[in-house]
Amino acid sequence: MASAELMRLWKLNQVDVGLVEVRLKAANLDVGKKIAAEMAELKKQDDEIGGKARKLQADLTDLEIMQKGIDEKIKRIDKQLFGGTIVNPREVENLEKEIAALKRQRDATDAKILQLWEVLPPAKEAAGKLDAQIAEKQKQLAERKKAALVERTALEAEFARLNKLRPEVVKGIGPGLMNKYEGIRQRMGGVGMAEVTRRHTCSGCGTIIAARSVQSLTEDKVVTCESCHKILYYTEGVV
Ligand SMILES: [Zn+2]
């Protein structure tokens, strides 16, 4: 069996391993970067596809306004012609010519409008599909951010709990062993201890522990792994 001091140190190590895990989880917290990137890609597509639909719609509106303007002009000239005020044949002829020109203009506008009626619905549908996809991504992103906030709060609570626990666990560990442990911990990314497995390997790095080291461990001596230099914790195969 490990000495009482080493057992305390092992407990401290478990607290420190917990702190390392919490830090790692906090650093790797998924705040929706992937979803945001996918949304940015969709928005880029929308600039093109949605932009095309918006342009076609604007063209159609322009043509419809133009069509209305032409109709009004024709109506106005018709009124003049049949109002009985114009009697000069030359003037009548001119107005009739003007009406004929306006009607040609109207036919051309009608043809363009018909063309737009064909291409606008599919363009609008494609843009609408993209808009729906973007809205869905936005929803996903908001949900992920909300979940990340909950996860972060939980991690912060766990971090505070472990930090509060630490001074309690440190009690009963001599300064010599404590200094050694802290030195290793600092060099080894926050973890200063490793368990010896049943097959007498270091759980930290997998190195086989020499028989003489195992012997020392059974004598309650402080032994470090030859390879990763962590303090070994040995429970004679109990664990
Ligand atoms: Zn090791």
Domain boundaries, the chain: 4-10+174-233, 31-170
CA 12 – ligand 1 centroid, Å: 18
Quote the ligand 1 centre to 202 CA distance (angstroms).
Answer: 5
Helices 175-187 and 4-27, axial angle in degrees (round to 10): 30
- Residue at token pair 């200063």: 192
pLDDT of residue 239: 43
Residue-level pLDDT at 40:
96
Which distant-in-sequence residues (6+ apart) come within 8 Å of 194 by Cβ? Answer: 202, 203, 204, 205, 225, 228, 230, 231, 232, 233
Q: What is the pLDDT of residues 213-237, one digit of tens each?
A: 999 999 989 999 999 999 999 987 5
For residue 195, how far is its CA from the centre of ligand 1 (angstroms)? Answer: 9
pLDDT at position 1 is 55
Q: How many Å lie between the centroid of ligand 1 and the Cα of residue 6?
A: 17
For residue 64, the model assigns a pLDDT of 97
Q: Can you give the pLDDT at residue 87?
A: 80
* pLDDT < 50 regions, the chain: 238-239
